[in-house]
Structure 1
Amino acid sequence: MNTRIIEPCAGAYQYPLLIKSLLLSGQRYAPQQQIVCGQSRYDYRQLNERIARLANVLTDAGIGPGDTVAVMDWDSHRYLEAYFAVPMIGAVLHHVNVRLSTDQIAYTMQHAEDRLVLVHDDFLPVVEALADQLPSVEGYIQLSDDAQVAGTSLKTLGEYEALLEAAGTHYDFPDFDENSVATTFYTTGTTGNPKGVFFSHRQLVLHTLNMATTLAAYEGVPLLRSEDVYMPMTPMFHVHAWGVPYVATMLGVKQVYPGRYEPNRLVKLYRDEGVTFSHGVPTVLQMVLNCDEARDTDLSRWKLLTGGAAPNEGLVRQMAERDIRVYTGYGMSETCPLLSLSYLRPEETELSVEQQVAMRMRTGMPIALVDLRLIDEEGQDVPADGVSVGEILVRTPWLTQGYCKEPEKGAELWSGGWLHTGDVASMQPDGVLQIRDRIKDVIKTGGEWISSLLLESLISQHPAVANVAVVGVPDERWDERPLALVVPVDGVSVDTDTLKQHLAQFVDTGQINKWAIPSEIRFVESIPMTSVGKINKKLIREQLTTQA
């Protein structure tokens, strides 16, 4: 195609999309607004100054373009500063998943070839045990919350705050190619070692701009605007805390970082700091709602975005009863992450809370710049009729372009020029997406398929159920049958017959078929979770196989 290309005139500046540009507006529009974490409290002018100081510390430590800097910290102001300073000098920020096993942490740090590690006192024992296995690491910077710095056998460059205090307050951040890698982190799959995904400056800037528009501009999803107060409840090592810290910083909103997650502390911070917007996976939100501090706290100011796993109806109803405005987002580690968001049309906002529950649980509308389609097992597009299901394929400017050092797996991810999500969904005629299940979690029984997510949502509506997971187990006659693990509400008695009778009502209304009722329901004290708070169905299936 012979398109016309703009020929810039002599001297025209070619503006690269770099993370440093996201820092321009916050201190312009809200220089007095605060960043809060523990005893630390400072404004946006100081944030920019501290980012420059950190950049000087990193440069003095020998870190340059293309080097990888690892961070092992709880959600903190330090992590926010690293979000900017590390990529802004041309280095790559490695968000270490501190909830992985020690062996997996070692693998990711070796694979990423980390040169410098910023490590919180709480993770010193892990790093000390791994130090001999990290040949690429040349130094450590210690992150301490207390005046009394913990002792360590590591040869550190010093403590973070002391190093920043001694560093210069100005850094001339350079321009470079916007396609330079800015961040990397590792996503755990069903088999093998964690896979490294990576994102460029261009991708993160475009994701930030689009997410800001989606969360702020639409009345149907009024989640994060300039007057809001933001507190994450998603780990900052998990897909850039869903990208929201970049958005919050660009908008100049007050940001509250909670450190290590503890439900009562999160509610206290919500109350004391005037938090209005947070995000988290359903299991974290469930713990927050059920903690002691939440019982007597007015939560009606809170707007919550949930994702990472489909919320069940019991949780969404519980939030609605507390007048919390909840919305559901969809994405994955490979997608930076946001792809779609539940959206209330003007006429839907007038409905009762009861009527809005299903709408707020929807996977939602694909956001701007997201090209999304559903295909069947033969690779053909499925109709948008709300019934037909297929795998979600996507294209958008902020998708990872492959897996680090694993071209074969990257080619599989991008088979046919579309990113394959592995999620099964349907789409309504009006474009609303609804996740039905992960491909690997769909239960195939007697030639038909059952959505484990739907069963979990229906079982969760029983008042005696605190948490539930449904998986398929082998069956000689039917290939697979659903099995449910149920955590009862503390002090409440419930049995298998009661829950099967509960599910029978949904057979009568046509929501499920009779054969979808689990053959077995087991009552357990807890359900295995992944490192990012999702139900670990892979582990559940392995445990059930071992017990068989």
Structure 2
Amino acid sequence: MPPRFPVQESIAVQPFDPSVPLITPTPSAYGYPLLVRQLLVNALAVSPDQQITYRGERRHTFAALNRRIGRLANALAALGVRHGSTVAIMDWDSHRYLEGYFAIPMMGATMLTVNVRTSAQQIAYALNDANADVLIVHTDFLPLLEQIHGELRSVRTLIIAADGDGDGDGDSGGLDVPAMPCAGEFEHLLAAASEHFPFEDFDENTRAALFYTTGTTGDPKGVFYSHRQIVLHALATATTLCSPREGQRLHREDVYMPITPMFHVLAWGMPYIAVLLGLKIVLPGRYQPDTLLKLKASEKVTFSHCVPTLLQMLLDASGRDGQDLSGWKMIIGGSALSPTLCRAALARGIDVFSGYGMSETGPVVALSQCAPGAAPVSIDEEVRRRCMAGRPVPMVELRVVDADMNEVARDGRSQGEIVLRAPFLTQGYHGKPGASEALWAGGYLHTQDVAVVTQDSYVQIVDRMKDVIKTGGEWVSSIEVEALINAIPGVRESAVVGVKDDKWGERPQAFIVCEPDAALTGSEVRAHLLVLVEANRISRYAVPEIARIVFVAEIARTSVGKIDKKLLRQQSD
């Protein structure tokens, strides 16, 4: 299939008909706008004593969270933050971040979550492009800020986030800060502020959050979400997670620990869901496998989400001392969950399953939960289902379409692009109308993901359009070849990219990471794949030449843990 679909004409919108009756509310009735602060209502009423802990070292209740949200809002207001302002955060996953998730948008301001794993130049670009007024910055990132403070055009004051209760005296808490105005240390400012803030209602379509994608070309693109979108995403995803009676589900007795950074797509929206449901929340700070495993055991964590790389790191670290991982439900996203990694996690007691989405989609639009009560299936089929993108969550219209926007057959073989409609998809990119129109061509959000869909609505990602390999007149799925290589004993992970070839246009090249004690050769990998060719599992064109099978210690990744295929292609040229 072609690597790109044509732009479609915009869909027609039904014109307003004044003869159609509209609801006329009672003058005294409350309209209840869908604002982020409404996600707190039930938790404060039902679970005020529920616990939030930062690294197991600091603890407070949901009731205290509410008071701290008020204090943070007052501290920000004293610095001039108003409706329409932008407040940026550079921090590890902490109680401070969770308080920012609520206090900043509840003021009518925009929360900018800064990806601290991107380059200094990209961080400066994001802060400037978003016109950030105030920056909450962890002490770990002060050296980085020293590099770029001269380039920042809008940031007028800093708030220093120090672990503990803040050290030293004075406005900066005795900490070294860049040559920028500093309002003080986070905890000191909260201690001096009132816990009562007059949070008012406003339009639910007000922008609540903004972050920047780590694009492979050009400047990063700002993705934004309104209050309405965040609330509806939380409700739709919670409904899906809570609906099964058993298995991959979420319930009020679960203990939640994010392992997807809170700067990345709002940690997949899960912190908002955890607060909505009144769950115990464990915030781990910086992601270090030993710390995460310690918290899993000490805080009895039962629900998390992460990328495959981190799951592998957790399995490796826990395997060294035989730590019990049973009772841990985990959503895997960001990159494909391989059957090999899925089996390894299941063997260690982790109830692992895939989720699907992207920065522009809220992000969760599909989950691959196993349907309870369904007819028994083989372990191979169960693993296959857990590794798929899954089925759409409520209110998501997910279509797999051809170049003319016609839906492909639901036969598990016919390929097309995933296009979406849902009430929580981003409406565009900040300040980039051309890119926004391309994203929403024809009234559907175009994901650029190539997929197939089964008769029972399970979606399987085949490849990214830009990663499909055209060789010898055939289209080869890099993801499919990776899965077959990963199934070879001794292979830990692999990445397959297309590289230029004068004869064939492109040829596949495989980068393979082996287990420490494996002694695998390129000839053995190629022989394994050729057997699958004879069995009609893959095309002969999908098999890399021996010279194109490269063994590496690790595979290049982006700042959010995805395999960086652009860089791999550059390294192969």
Asked whether the 8 Å contact 2:412–2:455 carries over to 1, the reply is yes
Matches within 5 A, 1:138-537: 138-146=156-164, 147-148=166-167, 150-153=175-178, 154-219=180-245, 222-292=248-318, 295-348=321-374, 350-351=376-377, 353-519=379-545, 520-537=548-565
Asked whether the 8 Å contact 1:320–1:357 carries over to 2, the reply is no
CA distance in structure 2 between the aligned counterparts of 1:468 and 1:121, rounded to whole angstroms: 36
- 2:121 maps to 1:103: yes
Count of residue pairs the alignment pairs up = 545
CA distance in structure 2 between the aligned counterparts of 1:3 and 1:463, rounded to whole angstroms: 66
Asked whether the 8 Å contact 1:309–1:534 carries over to 2, the reply is yes
Letter in 1 for 2:117: R
Letter in 1 for 2:196: H
* Aligned counterpart, 1:119: 137
**Partner SS state of residue 469, structure 1:** strand
Q: CA RMSD for the aligned pairs?
A: 1.5
Asked whether the 8 Å contact 1:340–1:366 carries over to 2, the reply is yes
CA distance in structure 2 between the aligned counterparts of 1:21 and 1:347, rounded to whole angstroms: 35
Asked whether the 8 Å contact 1:362–1:433 carries over to 2, the reply is yes
Q: Following TM superposition, by how much is the alpha carbon of 1:511 offset from its aligned partner in structure 2, in angstroms?
A: 2.5
CA distance in structure 2 between the aligned counterparts of 1:349 and 1:157, rounded to whole angstroms: 61
CA distance in structure 1 between the aligned counterparts of 2:383 and 2:320, rounded to whole angstroms: 21
Q: Following TM superposition, by how much is the alpha carbon of 1:476 offset from its aligned partner in structure 2, in angstroms?
A: 1.5
Asked whether the 8 Å contact 2:248–2:369 carries over to 1, the reply is no
* Aligned counterpart, 1:11: 28
The partner residue of 1:21 within 10, 24, 38 is 38
Q: Following TM superposition, by how much is the alpha carbon of 1:293 offset from its aligned partner in structure 2, in angstroms?
A: 6.1
- 2:572 maps to 1:544: yes
How far does the alpha carbon of each residue in 1:90-138 deviate from its partner, in whole angstroms, 9 at most, with x for none? 0000010111111111111100000000000010111122112112111
**Partner SS state of residue 202, structure 1:** helix
Q: Following TM superposition, by how much is the alpha carbon of 1:509 offset from its aligned partner in structure 2, in angstroms?
A: 3.9
* Aligned counterpart, 2:13: none
Letter in 2 for 1:14: G
State the structure with bigger RCO (CA 8 A, min sep 6), 1 or 2.
2
Asked whether the 8 Å contact 2:472–2:541 carries over to 1, the reply is no
Asked whether the 8 Å contact 1:53–1:168 carries over to 2, the reply is yes
Asked whether the 8 Å contact 1:26–1:252 carries over to 2, the reply is yes
* Aligned counterpart, 2:106: 88
**TM-score, normalising length: structure 2:** 0.92
CA distance in structure 2 between the aligned counterparts of 1:388 and 1:80, rounded to whole angstroms: 43
Judge which range, 217-226 or 244-253, deviates more.
217-226
Question: Would the alpha carbon gap of residues 395 and 503 (structure 1) be closer, same or farther in structure 2, given more than 3 Å must change?
Answer: same
Q: Following TM superposition, by how much is the alpha carbon of 1:220 offset from its aligned partner in structure 2, in angstroms?
A: 6.3
CA distance in structure 2 between the aligned counterparts of 1:162 and 1:85, rounded to whole angstroms: 17
Asked whether the 8 Å contact 1:230–1:255 carries over to 2, the reply is yes
**Partner SS state of residue 108, structure 1:** helix
**TM-score, normalising length: structure 1:** 0.97
* Aligned counterpart, 1:132: 150
Q: Percent sequence identity over matched residues?
A: 49
Asked whether the 8 Å contact 2:160–2:184 carries over to 1, the reply is yes
Asked whether the 8 Å contact 1:348–1:356 carries over to 2, the reply is no
Asked whether the 8 Å contact 2:244–2:372 carries over to 1, the reply is no
Matches within 5 A, 1:29-44: 29-38=46-55, 39-44=57-62
How far does the alpha carbon of each residue in 1:154-175 deviate from its partner, in whole angstroms, 9 at most, with x for none? 4311111111111111112110
Asked whether the 8 Å contact 2:248–2:351 carries over to 1, the reply is no
How far does the alpha carbon of each residue in 1:299-335 deviate from its partner, in whole angstroms, 9 at most, with x for none? 1111110011111121111112112111111000001
Asked whether the 8 Å contact 1:27–1:44 carries over to 2, the reply is yes
**Partner SS state of residue 269, structure 2:** helix
Q: Following TM superposition, by how much is the alpha carbon of 1:470 offset from its aligned partner in structure 2, in angstroms?
A: 0.6
Asked whether the 8 Å contact 1:311–1:457 carries over to 2, the reply is no
The partner residue of 1:70 within 55, 69, 88 is 88
CA distance in structure 1 between the aligned counterparts of 2:327 and 2:398, rounded to whole angstroms: 33
Q: Following TM superposition, by how much is the alpha carbon of 1:348 offset from its aligned partner in structure 2, in angstroms?
A: 4.4
Structure 1 gap ranges (5+): none
How far does the alpha carbon of each residue in 1:327-378 deviate from its partner, in whole angstroms, 9 at most, with x for none? 1110000011011111312344744544411111111111110011122234
CA distance in structure 2 between the aligned counterparts of 1:284 and 1:523, rounded to whole angstroms: 21
**Partner SS state of residue 449, structure 1:** strand
Letter in 1 for 2:77: T
Letter in 1 for 2:86: T
CA distance in structure 1 between the aligned counterparts of 2:374 and 2:535, rounded to whole angstroms: 23
**Partner SS state of residue 121, structure 2:** helix
Question: Would the alpha carbon gap of residues 256 and 509 (structure 1) be closer, same or farther in structure 2, given more than 3 Å must change?
Answer: farther
CA distance in structure 1 between the aligned counterparts of 2:183 and 2:31, rounded to whole angstroms: 38
Q: Following TM superposition, by how much is the alpha carbon of 1:525 offset from its aligned partner in structure 2, in angstroms?
A: 1.3
Asked whether the 8 Å contact 2:156–2:181 carries over to 1, the reply is no
**Partner SS state of residue 477, structure 1:** coil
Asked whether the 8 Å contact 1:184–1:196 carries over to 2, the reply is yes
Question: Would the alpha carbon gap of residues 473 and 44 (structure 1) be closer, same or farther in structure 2, given more than 3 Å must change?
Answer: same
Letter in 1 for 2:484: L
Structure 2 gap ranges (5+): 1-16, 168-172
Asked whether the 8 Å contact 1:402–1:413 carries over to 2, the reply is yes
